[in-house]
Amino acid sequence: MNENAIGQSRGGRVRWTQYNDQERQILESKLLSDDAAKLDFLGDYWNVVHDEGDTTQCERMASVWRLSKQGQPFKTIGNTLHLDQRKACALVSGLNCRPYLAQMYLNREKLGPPRREGWKWILDCTPKPTNPYPRALQVPERIRSHEDILEFLKQFPPVSEESEALRFFGLTSAWAEEHKAELFWWLLGFMVGDMGKRYVHNEPRLRHYRKTAMNTRMTNKDSNLRVLRYVQLALECLGILSHKVHSEDGVVRWNSISSNILTWMIQVCSGLNEGEKTSTHQLDMPWMKSSPENLIIAFLQGLADSDGSVDTFGRYAEIASMPNSAFYKHLLDILGTNAHMYPATNPRTARILLQYAVQLPLFNPIIRSYRYEKVIQHAIRRKIIPPLPLFFLRGCKRTIGSE
C-alpha cells in the first residue's frame, strides 16, 4: 500500500490524499499535452473497462489543470467550467478526488509497458483509496503453448506454510511450489467442469471491474469437502482467497474473492467468452494438446473430480460434456487410453476402461474422492491391482507428497 496516496478522514473513512511531487509531474506531462484525451495507455492493460463518464471526467480534469497552470484561481475555473470551486481544487490536488483514468495512467507509468510482446498488465482491482497501486501481473493475451502459463505462474510467491488447505492434506509449501503447474491445470479443469463462475462487474456500481468470483455448491459430504479444499489450495497458489460459506443443510458452498485472474483463466485459457458455458459451448484450448502428459492428466483430473463418474459394475470411468466430449477424448487418446465417446450419435461423455482410469489416475489421489475410492474398489475386485486398498491409498499419498 502506498502511504503517500491514502489518508484517514473523520470517522475512519479512507480517502485519497494529495498527489505527491512525482505523481504531479507525471499527470502534468499528460494533461497539459496535446494528446491529453488519448487513452492509448489503456492498451497495455488486459480487458480494462471504462465508459463515457470516465472520459468526460478526464477531459474536465485536463481543462482544470490547464486553467490552473495559466494562473487562474479556482473560483474563476469553476465559473468557466460550470464546476464547483471545491471540485476544481480537488481535481488539481488529488485530495479525496482521483479520477479513474488518471489513476490508471499513474499505474501504467509506474509499471511501464509490458515486458513481453503479446502480454498485458492485469490489476487485482480497480485503483481505490485503500489500494491506489494494486498488485499487477502480466498475462498473455493468447495462450500459444503451456510455456506461457508456466511463465505466468512464476509471478506468484509460494503458499504460506500456515495455509489451512496445506495442513488439511498434510502437505508443505515446498510441495505446493513444486507442483504449482499441476495445481493450476487441475483448477482449470475444475473450472471448466463444476465451478460456478459469476462476473461481478455486471453488478450495479462495479462498471470498472472485469472480475469473476468462484461460487461452488456441492452436496455436503466429506468427499466433496476434500475436493473443495483442493480448490482452495489451487486458488491460494494464485493469491486468491476462498472460504466455506454458511448454507442450508445438506449443501456445502465454497466461494472465492473476485479476481481478474479468474476471468483471464475463463476467457483466455479456456477460450470461453463472457456468458458462454461449457454445457453449451465448445472450449478453445488447442495449446492443451501439446502440454506435458502430467499436466494433461492434472487437467483431466480436475474435470473428473467435478464431472466424472464410475460405472456401477466397474467396467469404465467417464467425463461428461456434450459439446466437449470429442476434445476430452482427444486428450485421453494422447495419454494412450483408447477412449470412446458415448452414445455414438450425439455423444455426451468421453469414456475409458477402468484399467486406464487406475493407471493415469483419472481421479486425483491426493483428494481421494468417493469416485477415486470407487475406482480402487472395483480395481481390487477385478484384480487389476492387489487387494490392499488401505496400503494403496496411503502409498499414493506418501509417494505424491514426497516427490
Q: Is 217 a domain residue?
A: yes
Predicted confidence at residue 322, as pLDDT, reads 83
- On whether both 42 and 180 belong to a single domain, the answer is no
- On whether both 206 and 102 belong to a single domain, the answer is no
Write the CA distances from 148 to 139, 154, 233, 270, integer angstroms. 8, 10, 22, 14
- On whether both 96 and 185 belong to a single domain, the answer is no
Predicted confidence at residue 49, as pLDDT, reads 83
- On whether both 108 and 217 belong to a single domain, the answer is no
- DSSP helix/strand/coil, 351: strand
- On whether both 180 and 244 belong to a single domain, the answer is yes
The x, y and z cell numbers of residue 113, run together, are 509497458
pTM of the shown model = 0.88
Residues in contact with 83: Cβ distance below 8 Å, sequence separation at least 6, in sequence order: 60, 64, 77
Q: Is 263 a domain residue?
A: yes
Q: Is 223 a domain residue?
A: yes
- On whether both 272 and 174 belong to a single domain, the answer is yes
- Which parts of the chain register pLDDT below 70? 1-13, 194-210, 388-403
**Considering 81, 97, 113, which residue would you say is the last residue of a domain?**
113
Q: Is 156 a domain residue?
A: no
Q: Is 247 a domain residue?
A: yes
Nearest to 140 by CA among 283, 331, 287: 287
**Considering 113, 140, 174, which residue would you say is the last residue of a domain?**
113
- On whether both 254 and 344 belong to a single domain, the answer is yes
Q: Is 144 a domain residue?
A: no
**What gap in Å lies between CA 276 and CA 194, rounded to an integer?**
14
- On whether both 95 and 180 belong to a single domain, the answer is no
Q: Is 153 a domain residue?
A: no
79-137 pLDDT, tens digit each: 999 999 999 999 999 999 999 999 999 999 999 999 899 999 999 888 888 889 999 99
Q: Is 32 a domain residue?
A: yes
- On whether both 218 and 285 belong to a single domain, the answer is yes
- On whether both 89 and 182 belong to a single domain, the answer is no
Q: Which CATH number goes with the domain that contains 329?
A: 3.10.28.10
**Considering 72, 87, 113, which residue would you say is the last residue of a domain?**
113
Counting the structural domains of the chain, the total is 2
Strand ranges for 179-238 from DSSP E: 197-199, 212-219
**93: domain range?**
6-113
Exposure b/e, 338-354, CB count within 10 A at least 16 = b: ebbbeeeeebebbbbbb
- On whether both 88 and 227 belong to a single domain, the answer is no
Characterize the bridge pairing of strands 212-219 and 251-256: antiparallel
Predicted confidence at residue 344, as pLDDT, reads 85
Quick one: which H or E segment has residue 243? strand 242-245
- On whether both 225 and 355 belong to a single domain, the answer is yes
The x, y and z cell numbers of residue 156, run together, are 506468484
